[in-house]
């Protein structure tokens, strides 16, 4: 009598659970890293806008001997990606010598960014130092 051995093909439940576990670990490690990279990209866009506005402020100071009080006075409109994640403000206090502080406050999904509020002043000082 010939016995024919039938071999089963496919995956066992244990093998599938091991694969699911490995994929879950990879996703758990990769997602925060990916999110942090996205936030860094948005932060770079905000920094670029702050530096552009600071350069325009310096030019206005040369031309008018006073700093502009608003973004519209400088002719700056925020790109949609920056406006969705940051709120920009200009502070020009009264007094001599003239000064200004530009701030980008993270909002929405960017609010949990580790750097928080980015700022630059008339002397070029950038805060927080580790985020520029």
For tokens 């927080």, what's the residue?
A: 128
pTM for the predicted model, two decimal places:
0.78
pLDDT at 73: 92
pLDDT (tens digit, 9 = 90+) per residue, 70-79?
999 999 999 9
- Compute the average pLDDT of residues 29-44: 93
Confidence of residue 6 (pLDDT cuts 50, 70, 90): low
Q: What is the pLDDT of residues 85-124, one digit of tens each?
A: 999 999 999 888 899 999 999 999 899 889 999 999 999 9
**pLDDT tier at 132, thresholds 50, 70, 90:** confident
């Amino acid at each position: 009598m010939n016995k024919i051995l039938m071999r089963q093909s496919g995956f066992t439940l244990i093998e599938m659970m091991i694969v699911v576990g490995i994929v879950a670990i990879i996703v758990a490690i990769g997602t925060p890293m990916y999110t942090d990279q996205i936030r860094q990209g948005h932060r770079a866009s905000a920094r670029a806008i702050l530096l552009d506005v600071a350069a325009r402020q310096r030019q206005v100071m040369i031309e008018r001997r006073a700093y502009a009080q608003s973004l519209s006075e400088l002719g700056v409109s925020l790109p949609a990606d920056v406006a969705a994640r940051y709120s920009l403000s200009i502070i020009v206090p009264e007094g001599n010598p003239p000064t200004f502080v530009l701030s980008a406050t993270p909002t929405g999904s960017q609010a949990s960014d580790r750097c928080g509020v980015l700022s630059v002043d008339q002397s070029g000082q950038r805060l927080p130092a580790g985020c520029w």
